[in-house]
């Protein structure tokens, strides 16, 4: 096992809307059933925004993480927010969260790597902590998928929920840290939500530019579930293996793997490929569904709360998602 300069997780926070939608609630709006959703995805309920915006969920989780870390918010040197479901193109969600925290000054950045966002952000946070005069980095994963879900599409709407979770990180010498990040843009069309079309008074062409993407219904999330499934079952174990290789450990040496909570069957397949028991995986998909980049820190939060994850544990965060992006990151909690 190779020790290096990594990150210490000083505090965690989580915030979810109170409103809960059960599988039976979905059966009232699309042709589906509790049995189908439970067997095919492992999801039972999701928390859904009752109007609270993405930045609000993020700010609430950040406040808890800062309090839990026992630091002053003013000492945060960088705010990194992962979201693919922001409230505005500009300002960034990071700036809105900064305003909500009442600490202005430090840089605030949004990262969009879809569901892999948290893994990318932890890696990025470490690089800032290594290079810059920054003592603490606040990473917030805030997502409100309900804004982008097409509630007439039964194959996607049943999957997604809203949540935010945050961590405060500082540099830690002589610890375990490794990461493996990757992307495969050739799969860009498999999971997409459209932004704006080109509209300006100077346009001369009527036809739309061929972006080589599927044509979505407005801005709604469009997913080729089967292709994403195939990609995920390969990408997830591969990323864990690569991160373990870089750390000089085997997957079975990990105390906990915290996977992106997209589908229980994807997680079970990954566990099989990695030759680890399923109880190595920290799961809360049944209660929250897929909350994109918030799903990994949200499961981490539950793992700590329940006592499943303890200080000193070797923990692997592993994600995959739109882009297509994927990656894993190993830390010592
Ligand atoms: O973070 C983003 C990452 N996204 C993912 O990880 C999603 C990856 N993909 C999946 O999780 C799965 O592909 C789904 C859950 C989206 C779909 O499960 P599946 O086992 O691949 O189902 P399928 O698409 O093969 O559909 C099987 C059948 C179809 O009916 P027919 O054609 O066999 O008659 C679908 O129309 O299930 C039907 N179906 C449903 N039935 C009841 C699809 N959605 C539903 C539904 N309720 N909600």
Residues having CB closer than 6 A to ligand 1 are 32, 36-37, 40-41, 115, 154-155, 158, 191, 225-226, 228-229, 232, 262-263, 266, 290, 292, 321
SS3 289: coil
pTM of the model: 0.97
How confident is the prediction along the chain (333 residues), in pLDDT tens digits per residue? 889 999 999 999 999 999 999 999 999 999 999 999 999 999 999 999 999 999 999 999 999 999 999 999 999 999 999 999 999 999 999 999 999 999 999 999 999 999 999 999 999 999 999 987 899 999 999 999 999 999 999 999 999 999 999 999 999 999 999 999 999 999 999 999 999 888 899 999 988 888 999 987 889 999 999 999 999 999 999 999 999 999 999 999 999 999 999 999 999 999 999 999 999 999 999 999 999 999 999 999 999 999 999 999 999 999 999 999 999 999 999
- Protein residue closest via CA to atom 29 of ligand 1: 155
Concatenate the DSSP letters of all residues of 12-81 into one string: EEEE--S-EEEHHHHHTTSS--HHHHHHHH---EEE--SS--HHHHHHHHHHHHHHHHT--GGGEEEEEE
Q: Which atom of ligand 1 is nearest to the CA of 114?
A: 1
- How much is the pLDDT for 222? 94
C-alpha dist (Å) from residue 51 to 156, 160, 329: 21, 16, 33
Q: Which of 24, 155, 231 to mutate to test the pocket of ligand 1 (most atoms within 8 A of CB)?
A: 155
Catalytic-residue membership of 219? no
219 DSSP 8-state letter: T
Q: How far is the CA of 229 from the centre of ligand 1 (A)?
A: 10
| Catalytic residue chosen out of the listed positions 95, 106, 115, 316 | 115
| Catalytic residue chosen out of the listed positions 68, 263, 284, 290 | 290
């Amino acid at each position: 096992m190779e020790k290096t300069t990594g990150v210490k997780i000083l505090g965690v926070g989580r915030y979810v809307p109170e409103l809960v939608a059960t599988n039976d609630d979905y059966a009232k709006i699309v042709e589906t059933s509790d049995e189908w959703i439970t067997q095919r995805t492992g999801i039972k309920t999701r928390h859904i925004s009752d109007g609270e915006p993405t930045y609000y969920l993020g700010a609430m989780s950040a406040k808890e993480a800062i309090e839990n870390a026992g630091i002053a918010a003013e000492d945060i040197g960088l705010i990194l927010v992962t979201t693919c479901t922001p409230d505005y193109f500009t300002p960034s969600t990071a700036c809105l969260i900064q305003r909500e925290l009442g600490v202005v000054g430090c840089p605030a950045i949004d990262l969009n790597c879809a569901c892999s966002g948290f893994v990318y952000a932890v890696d990025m946070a470490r690089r800032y902590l290594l290079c810059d005069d920054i003592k603490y980095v606040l990473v917030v994963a805030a997502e409100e998928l309900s804004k982008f879900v097409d509630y007439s599409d039964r194959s996607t709407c049943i999957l997604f929920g809203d949540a935010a979770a945050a961590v405060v990180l500082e540099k830690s010498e002589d610890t375990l840290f490794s990461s493996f990040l990757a992307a495969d843009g050739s799969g860009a069309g498999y999971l997409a939500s459209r932004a704006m079309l080109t509209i300006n008074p100077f346009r001369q062409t009527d036809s739309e530019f061929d972006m080589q993407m599927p044509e979505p219904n407005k801005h709604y999330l469009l997913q080729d579930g089967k292709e994403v499934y195939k990609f995920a079952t390969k990408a997830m174990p591969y990323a864990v293996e690569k991160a373990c290789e870089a750390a000089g450990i085997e997957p079975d040496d990990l105390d906990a793997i915290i996977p992106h909570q997209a589908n229980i069957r994807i997680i079970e397949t990954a566990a099989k490929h990695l030759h680890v028991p399923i109880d190595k995986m920290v799961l809360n998909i049944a209660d929250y569904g897929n909350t994109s980049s918030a799903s990994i820190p949200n499961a981490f939060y539950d793992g700590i709360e329940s006592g499943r994850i303890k200080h000193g544990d070797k923990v692997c965060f592993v994600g995959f998602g739109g882009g297509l992006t994927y990656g894993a990151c190993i830390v010592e909690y």
